[in-house]
C-alpha cells in the first residue's frame, strides 16, 4: 500500500520548487530569444559599416522569435502540468507519472536551434 502524500507539506514544496525551476527556464528562453533577435540587428549594422550595404537579419529574428515563443509555451505547459499534479496529489493514491518528459523535449529543441544558429553564423561569415 502506498502512503498518502496529500498531507505531507514536503510534496507541495517540492512541486513548487520544480514549477519555479521551469519558470526560470522559460524566462531564460525568452531572454535568450530576445538577445538572438537583437544580435541579428547588431550584425546587420556591423555589416553595413564594413561593406556599405546592410545584410538580411531575418534568420536571427525568426530564431529569436521562436525561442521567445518556446519560453512562453514552456511556462504555459508547465503551469497546466503543475495544476494537474496538485489535483492528483490531493485526490490521493495511486499516483501516476506522466507519459512524456518536458525537459527532454525542450533539450532536443534547443539542440536543434543551436545547430541552426551555428550553421547560420558559419554561412554568414563565409
The residue to which cell 536551434 is assigned: 113
pLDDT at 28: 93
Continuous segment of H or E residues that includes residue 119: helix 102-125
pLDDT at 6: 64
Report whether 77 contacts 32 (CB < 8 A): no
pLDDT at 44: 72
pLDDT at 12: 82
pLDDT tens-digit map of 99-108:
556 777 777 7
Give every residue of the chain whose pLDDT is below 70, as ranges.
1-6, 48, 52-57, 93-101, 121-122, 124-126
pLDDT at 8: 75
Between CA 118 and CA 88 the distance in angstroms is 42
Amino acid at each position: 500500500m502506498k502512503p498518502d502524500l496529500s498531507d505531507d507539506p514536503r510534496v507541495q514544496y517540492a512541486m513548487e520548487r520544480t514549477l519555479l525551476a521551469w519558470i526560470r527556464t522559460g524566462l531564460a528562453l525568452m531572454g535568450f530569444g530576445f538577445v538572438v533577435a537583437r544580435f541579428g540587428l547588431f550584425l546587420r549594422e556591423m555589416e553595413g559599416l564594413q561593406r556599405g550595404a546592410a545584410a538580411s537579419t531575418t534568420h536571427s529574428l525568426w530564431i529569436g522569435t521562436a525561442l521567445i515563443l518556446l519560453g512562453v509555451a514552456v511556462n504555459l505547459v508547465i503551469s497546466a502540468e503543475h495544476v494537474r499534479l496538485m489535483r492528483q496529489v490531493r485526490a490521493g493514491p495511486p499516483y501516476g507519472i506522466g507519459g512524456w518528459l518536458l525537459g527532454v523535449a525542450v533539450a532536443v529543441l534547443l539542440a536543434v536551434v543551436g545547430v541552426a544558429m551555428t550553421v547560420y553564423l558559419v554561412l554568414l561569415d563565409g
